[in-house]
Amino acid sequence: MTTHSAADCATCPAHHAGNLLKLGVDMSDSDYVVALAGNPNVGKSTVFNALTGLRQHTGNWPGKTVARAEGGFSYADKRYKIVDLPGTYSLLSTSKDEEIARDFILFGRPDVTIIVVDATRLERNLNLVLQVMEITDRAVIALNLIDEAKRHGLQVDERRLARDLGVPVVPMAARQGEGIPELLQAVHEVANGLAVCKPHRVKSESTAVQRALQQLVQQLTAVYPTLPNARWVALRLLDGDQRIAEAVRSGEIGALSAPENDQNADLLIPLEVAA
């Protein structure tokens, strides 16, 4: 008998093919799905093109990619589908773009989320990184434009960053193609559970908020014991996010807590046979 839970089965795909299909991503010819997130104007489309070999236009305009782009690549005998999300500064403000990005990471449950980060503007970019990591555990940071940073006299200690954030950090210069193999390797490791992420979570300063969060998280985990991002769901409820409130009311959130194979069924059928 095997028990599937998110913790035990780091090697099986985390995504829900059904949910993804609803979001417009057909998983029939790929093993893993990878989401590509990032601030506007950090070279996200360049990374996307470097990974897929596609030539999507990458303008030097904040907010260039409005529609969602999709592509694929193969690495170590696995087929990956990669979805380029709209560039956003944040995931909290309910603009259309942010909603698309947020919904995909939450409900699509990509196997890996690559967050492209501009090494020359780390602080600004980490805002989005921290928000994404509240939703998903499986993230890889693509520390892009590292060449520009060097030129400007900035040294980014990627190991320190990786330790602080709890996820792999790959320094790269996507325009020159530097760091792409390393990024592929990191994605491969996270997707296959070879590297385990322990993403850093932001602690609230206010005790009132902390108490409120604690109370909500308790209730959430009581109903959905395996919900991977209960804290984040609680935060969104406190912020009055109607999409999430709706998902809680309809039980859609529940679908996120159960792994692909129905946990209850797996656990109980053999016992019933024994009885």
Site for other proteins in 25-54 (CB under 8 A): 40-41
Identify the residue among 157, 177, 181, 198 touching other proteins (CB under 8 A): 157
Listed residue (127, 228, 112, 111) closest to 170, CA to CA: 112
Q: Is the dihedral of CA 256, 261, 265, 268 positive or negative?
A: negative
Of residues 96 through 135, those in contact with other proteins by CB under 8 A are 120-124, 126-127, 129-131
Residue 193 or residue 199: which is nearer to other proteins going by CB?
Answer: 199
Of residues 183 through 242, those in contact with other proteins by CB under 8 A are 200, 202-206, 208-209, 212, 215-216, 219-220, 222-223, 234-235, 237-242
Residue 78 or residue 121: which is nearer to other proteins going by CB?
Answer: 121
Distant-in-sequence, close-in-space partners of 75: CB < 8 Å, separation ≥ 6: 184, 185, 187, 188
Buried b (16+ CB within 10 A) or exposed e, 1-33: eeebeeeebbeebbbbeebbeebebebeebbbb
**x/- site string to other proteins, residues 59 to 98, per CB under 8 A?**
xxxxxx-x----------------------xx-xxxx---
If binding is defined by CB under 8 A, does position 154 make contact with other proteins?
Answer: yes
**Residue 256 Cβ, how far from other proteins at the closest point, in Å?**
14
Phi-psi region of 272 (alpha: psi -120 to 50; beta: other; left: phi over 0): alpha
> Stretches 18-26, 72-80, 190-198, 245-253: which one binds other proteins (CB under 8 A)?
245-253
